Chains A and B, each alone.
Chain A
């Protein structure tokens, strides 16, 4: 079709198009030409319409409540010191500590509320919150972690300033109206430490210590205009019904040395969990002391129902990751003075060795004779007896450890330094005090009144005559700031290395002026050596759970471990 000329194709057809006529040349014989109609108007071309206008975007809008004014006016002297933020050096990026919203915040309003807060440095500057010392960046990070969280565990290694971070965070909550009623619960021996730290780090906050007779405590609990109250664990247990009767509720409850509530069935745990509260923070350097159950106990307070004891350690680690912040000195204080550890292996004196040998042989024989009747109590008593002989010969009073300690302390005293000596027995501390009188040794233990303990610390800190402080692990391992001491001696060993670490960190902490030397006395070929061996092998559990932190909070001895010290089967297996 396409090859046929157009005229031939159109011949004889009537085309509907408008047309013009084309006449052929004149000639009578010529047949009439066909009429060809040609189109004169074209069909309209299709139009492509491009939407040029960019539509106005939808807008989401969030409004935030205005932050409240400070509760107390800033003293004029502090105002005068306010400076504009220091401009960053051109060659380094600005590092800002920002509030970290918890992962379980799902409402956009809440998320944006936290994200849009200024960095902490700006908040502190703008609110004229001054500190006695410039906080370390990791401490600002700790505050940025705590402030937005309702359930949080600050598990920094001892000495990194957990209480300072908590106090500064409390201060921020009080300033923003989120913390009108705060309760700090701590061990009895640390109450004065807390009031001192509160006065240092939050001088504008009014603090009440709950103490004294029941009538006085009732009045203190009821004080309406006191933003921060401090109580020890025993008071909280004793006043559990009173707190309920008064209908008290707190915006925040902070537990210091929170490992105290690891036993969920214990009265302490029940009493603190019964307190009505909005926020629950736990401070502890050892969230996992003996087993993963410790953490379950802690979380019954921090975030009830979050953990169960059947969870495998890894799952537990993942479940608590957003609630726990743990940093180690190694990680955050790269320029902190080093801690030098040395194990002083002590040979018992001949008399001591003989006493020890007899006691062990008799003890083991007795246990063997008891067979299935032997209980953990019997084993424990033997261990304690042997450990005591390692300290002092019960027959002659001789002590190879004391001889060694005296020699070491002479050097300490000569250099004008200070030393801490830890023991698990108050009786040992008493003996040491007499023997070390020339070094001005003074005691600090739970058998002393709070006032006497405070005086002991004051004398040790300020009087150059006192070179040695003798502490029990129970009272002296927690909460004290003794960073002016350069030497720590563990005269005997505790059952759990985590407690020993706490003790050591009284000296090796922020503010330490130089290297801290830690000497652990270990009697050769004795129960002390065997216990040390067991504990060395038990540092894995918390590593698994707190793998992010990377620092072990080692486990203690179990019943099985204790029986194994004397190659005895534990009771359950003996029964089988």
Chain B
């Protein structure tokens, strides 16, 4: 794995897009402190059956996003970012599958006063992760709008959808 250094700090951005007709795509973008892409991973579309939805019940999201999508993407990545950020709350479940600090990026109108502000967004992390997330994000916050990389992932996932025929249920 590529190690993060002070000069070569890396940051992970994790999100998922539920695309009608295709299924759930996970996307993970690792950027350097200037916001330039270093590594990108995306999953094949994942479609959950009705039976799986019923049987997993409330635990589905945690399993699907945290383990099947989030954990898989992080495990396949060769980068070691300082922090993993997500704008999709169910993906926070990935925290129990990784040693990396994970935090959610929220617009102020979504987060209210919760978390702490970085540029135009607010960051929500667990109490144990918050100090380290706050410290590590300082390296890139001056240059990069932390909500912007998620737009790139979505654009790339849209492109991936065009390349992928619609999925059948798993």
Contact = CB atoms under 8 A, between A and B. Distances in A.
A131 B52 CA distance: 55
Given A116-B40, A126-B144, A54 B72 contact: no
Contacts of A414: none
A64 B35 CA distance: 13
Classify chain B's interface size: 35 or more
B137 interface: no
B159 A112 contact: yes
A55 B40 contact: no
A82 B143 CA distance: 9
A127 B36 CA distance: 10
8 contacts: A52-B55, A54-B63, A59-B43, A60-B42, A63-B78, A112-B156, A117-B152, A123-B34
Given A54-B68, A122-B143, A122-B144, A85 B152 contact: no
A56 B143 contact: no
Interface of A: 50-52, 54-64, 66-67, 82, 84-85, 87-88, 90, 94, 96, 98, 108, 111-113, 115-119, 122-123, 125-127
Contact of B144 (A51, A82, A118): A118
A122 B148 contact: yes
Nearest to A83: B142
A28 to B, nearest CB: 65
Contacts of A111: 159
Given A59-B72, A66-B32, A118 B41 contact: no
A63 B72 CA distance: 17
Contacts of B141: 84
B73 to A, nearest CB: 6
B155 interface: yes
Contacts of B26: 57
Interface string B63-87: 1100011001100111000000000
Given A52-B52, A54-B64, A125-B143, A64 B148 contact: no
B105 interface: no
A55 B170 contact: yes
Contacts of A50: 51-52, 55
Nearest to A128: B143
Contacts of B149: 118
Contacts of A125: 143-144
Contact of A118 (B42, B51, B148, B170): B148
Given A57-B46, A84-B141, A84-B142, A64 B52 contact: no
B39 A64 contact: yes
A126 B152 contact: no
DSSP class of B's interface residues: helix, strand, loop or mixed?
A: mixed
A113 B36 CA distance: 10
Interface string B116-159: 00011000000000000000000001111100110111011001
Contacts of B46: 54-55, 57
Contacts of A61: 39-41, 76-78
A66 B68 contact: no
B45 to A, nearest CB: 7
A64 B79 CA distance: 12
B144 A59 contact: no
A156 to B, nearest CB: 26
B145 A122 contact: yes
Given A54-B64, A57-B44, A66-B38, A116 B156 contact: yes
Given A54-B64, A119-B148, A59 B37 contact: no
Nearest to B120: A87
B142 A82 contact: yes
A258 to B, nearest CB: 32
Nearest to B63: A54
Given A59-B42, A62-B41, 17 more contacts: A50-B52, A52-B55, A52-B56, A57-B46, A59-B44, A60-B41, A61-B39, A61-B78, A67-B36, A84-B143, A85-B119, A116-B153, A118-B31, A118-B148, A123-B34, A126-B35, A126-B143
Closest 10 CB pairs of A and B: A87-B120, A126-B34, A57-B43, A126-B143, A116-B37, A118-B35, A58-B44, A59-B76, A67-B36, A57-B46
A84 B145 CA distance: 8
A54 B48 contact: yes
A60 B72 CA distance: 11
B109 interface: yes
Given A57-B26, A122-B145, A125-B143, A88 B35 contact: no
A116 B170 contact: no
Interface in B49-65: 51-52, 55-56, 63-64
A386 B27 CA distance: 71
B97 to A, nearest CB: 12
B161 to A, nearest CB: 12
Q: Which of B36, B42, B142 has the most CB of A within 10 A?
A: B36
Contacts of A98: 155
Contacts of A60: 41-44, 160
A66 B79 CA distance: 13
